[in-house]
Amino acid sequence: MMLMYLKLLLVFFRIGALGFGGGYAMMSMIIDEASRFSITSEQFASLTALDMVVPGPIAINAATFIGFLAGGFWGALFATIGVMLPSFIIIILVMRFIERYRENKVMNSFLSGVKPAAVGLIAAAAITIASGVLLLPGASLSALLADPLGSISIVGSAIFFIAAIANIRFNANPILLTVLAGIVGAFLLS
């Protein structure tokens, strides 16, 4: 068990240390690592839903969730400390060298590559998580190409695209959309 706690600490430390672009960008790293702790894609979709219902930073929510499923309360604690530690260490260093950091060309050009890549990572996380909830049980991505209508939830896809467009195009309030999606789901997805 001690080994599991240590693994959670190290894995989430790495996610925190390389997680450029905030919680959503960390998601694709967390998806990768979650399989090591035998988290199913359905459980992962539940985590995304809980992010909307439980307040606070997404990466903290994710570390707590995966840590708890893998190792109970102590698992959750070690995973959460793991994802927090890099922030403390990096900020102490940056504040010590802040003048040099601001004008550091190497750091700035490094970040100019990382920032667009973070967008790609977030999009990949969105597609991975969405396909987990939208594909019907037993259907795979290749089945989707062969028989699109037979392997995907129609109502689910409608909710997905309406929520995405309402939020991206019309800036609709995510909390309101979450409540609406819950109501529609209660009637049409049960």
CB burial string 150-178: b at 16+ within 10 A, e below: ebbbeebeebbeebeebeeeeeeeeeebe
Helix (H, G, I), strand (E, B) or coil at 9: helix
Closest distance to another protein from the beta carbon of 158 (Å) = 9
DSSP label of 79: H
Residue (6 or 123) nearer to another protein, CB: 123
Binding mask 109-128 for another protein (x = CB under 8 A): xxxxxxxxxxxxxxxxxxxx
Closest distance to another protein from the beta carbon of 144 (Å) = 14
- Does residue 166 contact residue 159 with C-beta atoms inside 8 Å? no
Per CB under 8 A, contacts with another protein among 50-69 are 50-61, 64-65, 68-69
- Does residue 13 contact residue 80 with C-beta atoms inside 8 Å? no
Binding mask 78-97 for another protein (x = CB under 8 A): --x--xx-xxx-xxx-xx--
Per CB under 8 A, contacts with another protein among 135-154 are none
Residue (5 or 24) nearer to another protein, CB: 24
Residue 72: C-alpha distances to residues 16, 17, 83, 99, 151 (Å): 21, 24, 17, 43, 35
Closest distance to another protein from the beta carbon of 147 (Å) = 21
Per CB under 8 A, contacts with another protein among 17-46 are 17-25, 27-29, 32, 45-46
Closest distance to another protein from the beta carbon of 100 (Å) = 13
